[in-house]
Amino acid sequence: MGGKHLILDAFECDSTLLNNQDYLEQLLTMAARNAGMEVVYSYFHPFHPQGVTGMIVLATSHLSIHTWPEERYASLDFYTCGEHDPLSQVDVLLKGLQAKRAVVYSVSRGTTSPQLVMSQGMESFGSPKPDERHGGDEAVRGDKWDQIGRQALLRGKHKLLWDEKSAFQHLQMIEAKDVRMYLDGQLQFSSLDEHIYHEALVHPAFTFVPTPSRVLILGGGDGLALREVLKYPSVKHVDLVDLDPAVLQAAKKSKKLAALNDSSLSDSRVAVHPQDAVDFLAANRTLYPLIIVDFPDPTDETTSSLYTTEFYTLLKRCLADDGVFVCQSASLDDTPIVFWSIGKTIESAGFHTLSYHTIVPSFGDWGFHIGAKTALSWEGRQAQIPCRTLPNPLRDLSRFPSTILAKKPLAIVNSKQHTVLHHLFKQENVYW
């Protein structure tokens, strides 16, 4: 009958999260399962105009939450008997609510005196150290390891090939033994292994539409995915849409990057559109048999909005009935629930999906989703052109470890009304 009982008061939380019933249920369920506990039942009730009460019934007791979004406050109660330690999940819960202050009591059941575990301000979650070279006045998207690697390169005897602050982000290209691009501190590629990522992004989708004449690429302003697309003789026209003219300029004018992307942006078959992808899709009247979506990870509200039901619904209008699209879908090592959530959100827009992944040493295990208006199968799929890294058959890319598959039931749908994927991204990525 002995057990541990935590009482948490979380202050200065994100009020949007405190009012999101689905997100809170996913957060508490994940915390319970991370602690090795069996979830028996969950029930969450939203109040109007605001507030949520929720309860996770555990085989070893319970985890509950009550929220007051108007006060940016939440109270949580985490009780378990046996050997499980709920204290291990305090950080997960508080980070998940974006709490800035917290008071946590621990009570050993069967005694009368609670122990004060914490009563202090929390460091601002998701706020890496400022950029040392530029006064620290810019947004930073990169995780802890991106920051450590980039700063080490900048301090060392390495060549800064490109350094430009655009209206949208800070672009840096650094040459060491490889060439690396960073956007707001987030590593975009290393020349040592970018071909692994871009072969996996492009060539499996081509097996479903082997001779497309028109292709649309959203994002991918570095021209590396475009390089792979242009290897197909059937491709007569490619529209490349990227928000930032600075990235497109670097892809054409930097000798190192142009050599890496085979001068793909200067190819006569390519039309470059420096504009917002949503605006392009909204104005577009062309149907594409193949669309490649190569956006940055959903690390903030802006990028998270590019992974919503509404965005995929807009994309669907531009996809041919027998066409497919492929979407890069984040790290399986760091953010498996984000990966599955992107797939679930694509399906919420009426697509059939196939999920797959590959190992990119600079990033780890990386995931992708293919979407189509009709059912898809990996049966008999092989790359149509020689590839350095893809397996034969491609079906091997669709085999996932059991630990990753176990996260799939926790996936959520990301929508404009509940744009929470960026919160989930930071919650999962403990080094963010």
Catalytic residue ranges? 294
Residue given tokens 């950029």 in the structure block:
131
User: What does the alpha-carbon distance between residue 49 and residue 59 come to, in Å, rounded to a whole number?
Assistant: 33
CA atoms within 13 A on the CB side of 34: 19
- Report the 10 Å Cβ neighbour count for 94: 23
> Strand 61-68 and strand 237-241: pairing?
unpaired
HSE (side-chain half, CA atoms, 13 Å) at 282: 7
Whether residue 384 contacts residue 207, with contact meaning beta carbons closer than 8 Å, is answered with yes
Kindly report the number of other CB atoms within 10 A of residue 12's CB atom: 17
CA separation for the pair 424, 412 (Å, rounded): 10
Residue 338 CA to residue 361 CA, distance in Å, equals 20
Which two three-digit tokens encode residue 1?
């009958």
Question: Cα–Cα distance between 355 and 332 in angstroms, integer?
Answer: 12
> Residue 388: left (phi > 0), alpha (psi -120 to 50), or beta?
alpha
Can you tell me the distance from the alpha carbon of 185 to that of 133, in angstroms, rounded to the nearest whole number? Answer: 12
CA distance 225 to 251: 12
- Say if residue 386 is preceded by a cis peptide, omega within 30 of 0: no
**Secondary structure class of 225 (helix, strand, coil):** helix
Q: How far apart are CA 153 and CA 175, in angstroms?
A: 9
| CB-count burial class (<10 Å; 0-12, 13-18, 19+) for 68 | middle
Other C-beta atoms lying within 10 Å of the C-beta of residue 179: 21
Distance CA 271, CA 238 (A): 6
Which residue type does 37 have?
Answer: M
Q: Which DSSP category does 308 fall into?
A: S
Instruction: Tokens for 85, please give them.
Output: 């330690």
Residue with tokens 């009482």: 7
